[in-house]
Structure 1
């Protein structure tokens, strides 16, 4: 009778040895993760045990973060509207009164052949007078005119790539040099001034954002410094039993990150409330000017970015405080105090 293969002794495979070799590293990694998880929970618990102080810190961070973000959103909306106005810019060419219709048509063909022009409409003198008569309400007064005082007109729409202020200015210069052209009109001066103002405001907002970010770091740093002072004895004991600097500073870094998280959420709530409060009046004002201007809020990605930036600022403030004050606490204080 053949022997049962299952009765043969089994040799340990290489995989078991590999598992045994990896287990210390795996246990160390699991211990590290558990320690971080525990410290993160403890940091949240400590914050909730002082709700008034935590809420005040979150409120200060929320206001400091919401202000520059709100101004940046407003500037973004203004730049979007000005880009729309710039892209719809149309050049109006007024011919001399002595220019005939044939001369105007020849000039229109020459301009239409330019690659910077996507559309051209010729409005002759008779049509212009009819439209003016219908829209002005001065039909009776116009009957006393011996001749038509209006010139032939060309309405030119620049090609999309030439609809910037520089592109339109170049096209205007080209048309002004043509024969029989009396005047070329395009009102981009106010748009250029608006763009210059928005660029200046954008730089001012970024400067304000940097200053407020520094203020947030200082607020968090001061808050964490007070926490370090209140836990001085605990830190001394931890260092006495062999706690590393990384182990000792870890709770405070988590505290700073949680403060940043709360401040980012408060900032997002303030932005949403402000948008809800202002959207109605802004839409009514835009409707009076026949504009589609509206305030754009933060997207989901923008909200996540705001919260992440707030957490990084909170972590940075905590790190600065820990680096500055934790090194001053040494176990020798206990011996000296005894």
Structure 2
């Protein structure tokens, strides 16, 4: 008996409105992805891949990478450390300015009641926060005890010292200009014989602080340029070592953005590592110096203390380091990568 071919399996036509998605519906779902979305996904995927590959290249050469990070860290930590020191000094100088008081010597003929009324009038000024009255008897007794001239002072017929007012400037007037204006106003007040305040040390302190501040910013700018040049030279060496790879990429149609992208990410990683190293160096230096500085400040009865970086300052330091790394890489790529063209 001849073999009969097996009957073909019966297929049921798909029911309309069954709710099941067939192959055509699946293909339609895949096509629902817009070309712009596909382009963006491909763009960011390539960026992630290049960033990871650049980080792996740095880890494959740990000694060279660590040397570059250390150079960047030292160059960044030095001006930031000096800026923190200057900030701490300005805090101490603000405390010195708050302790400055104006000594007002009254005329000899004024009675104690007149001196009290004058104390109230001066204390009502907006640029004065507190006024203390020292009558002539108390001043003479204090001078008698502190000078050691007790026997000689007994021969005086009358007290030669005047009533004295000690005026503490308000917080907004504890500057060189504010103190000068307060002294001029007190000298024109009736019943005041002499006003004494040492403005010289305030002027010298303000001048020294300004010089230190400008010096720190100038040093920071120079070291920032040095960091950019170091990164640029490192990226230049990386470009030269990958010259053949760059030529092949350009021969197969790689765009300039595609070719320069790995080197820019390398600069970003160098900057990030340098910022982290700078932060670690600052913390170690602060820990190393904090104890002797506090002991020295205690000997002078000062509340001076070194202040470290805040969270915002740490973020700003690392962000600046990343920016310098990217800028150095961009300059090197712009200068050297464009010169590499297939012959």
TM-score, with structure 2 as normaliser: 0.87
Unaligned runs of 5+ in 1: 1-5, 333-338
Tell me the equivalent position of 1:61: 72
Q: Does 1:203 align with 2:217?
A: no
For residue 18 of structure 1, report the CA deviation from its aligned partner.
9.2
Tell me the equivalent position of 2:266: 255
CA distance in 2, matches of 1:108, 1:282: 41
Contact 1:119 1:156 in 2 (8 A): yes
Tell me the equivalent position of 2:165: 154
SS in 1 for 2:338: helix
SS in 2 for 1:70: helix
SS in 2 for 1:151: coil
TM-score, with structure 1 as normaliser: 0.88
RMSD of the TM alignment (CA)? 2.4
Tell me the equivalent position of 1:130: 141
CA distance in 2, matches of 1:125, 1:275: 50
Per-residue displacement from partner, 1:23-61 (whole Å, max 9, x unpaired)?
Answer: 433232222222111111111111122111111111111
CA distance in 2, matches of 1:118, 1:285: 32
CA distance in 1, matches of 2:300, 2:196: 22
Structure 1 stretch 174-183 or stretch 249-258: which is displaced more?
174-183
Contact 1:86 1:165 in 2 (8 A): no
Per-residue displacement from partner, 1:290-316 (whole Å, max 9, x unpaired)?
Answer: 211111110111111101110110000
CA distance in 2, matches of 1:180, 1:256: 71
SS in 1 for 2:133: strand
Q: 1:29 to 1:152 in 2, by over 3 A?
A: same
2:96 pairs with 81, 85, 95, which one? 85
1:49 pairs with 60, 71, 81, which one? 60
Superposition pairs for residues 1-338 of structure 1, below 5 Å? 8=17, 20-135=31-146, 139=150, 142-332=153-343
For residue 141 of structure 1, report the CA deviation from its aligned partner.
5.1
Contact 1:225 1:322 in 2 (8 A): yes
CA distance in 1, matches of 2:217, 2:65: 27
For residue 111 of structure 1, report the CA deviation from its aligned partner.
2.0
CA distance in 1, matches of 2:47, 2:207: 50
Contact 1:87 1:164 in 2 (8 A): no
Which structure: larger Rg?
A: 2
Q: In the comparison of the two structures, how many residue pairs are matched?
A: 325
For residue 244 of structure 1, report the CA deviation from its aligned partner.
0.7
SS in 2 for 1:328: coil
Unaligned runs of 5+ in 2: 1-14, 22-26
Q: 1:127 to 1:22 in 2, by over 3 A?
A: same
